[in-house]
Amino acid sequence: MRFSLLVSEGPYTHQAADTAWNFAAAAIARGHEVKRVFFYHDGVYNATKLTEPPQDDRHIVNRWSKLNAEHQVDLVVCVAAALRRGIKDEVLAPGFRISGLGQLVDAGIKSDRLVTFGD
């Protein structure tokens, strides 16, 4: 099965980002494909390399980057939501890219399921 995910909550403020990452990792481990993760609203904060959690805490941004590097999951950040929050290309963590809502529509069309995490 081919999944795409929509994440609309930031890391460390809501369970949505952790749950989305766990879902993606579990789906891949079971042989499914995760085509794209689209970060929208405060979810765009999952993409910034400026995030520095304490050493004993999980690093959600690095988890997403690793998912991209190891499984070629397309990590797309909504351009309008990102710019409203001061996130530009130069602060993106590895593996993330900025694009428009058309990428979310495309993900919904080309996936068997579009699963949302957050409000």
**Active-site annotation holder among 24, 78, 92, 114:** 78
- Residue 90, Cβ density class (10 Å: 0-12 exposed, 13-18 middle, ≥19 buried): exposed
- How is residue 88 annotated by DSSP? -
2 carries an active-site annotation: no
CA distance 115 to 24: 10
Q: CB-based burial of residue 115 (10 Å sphere; 0-12 exposed, 13-18 middle, 19+ buried)? A: middle
Active site residues: 78
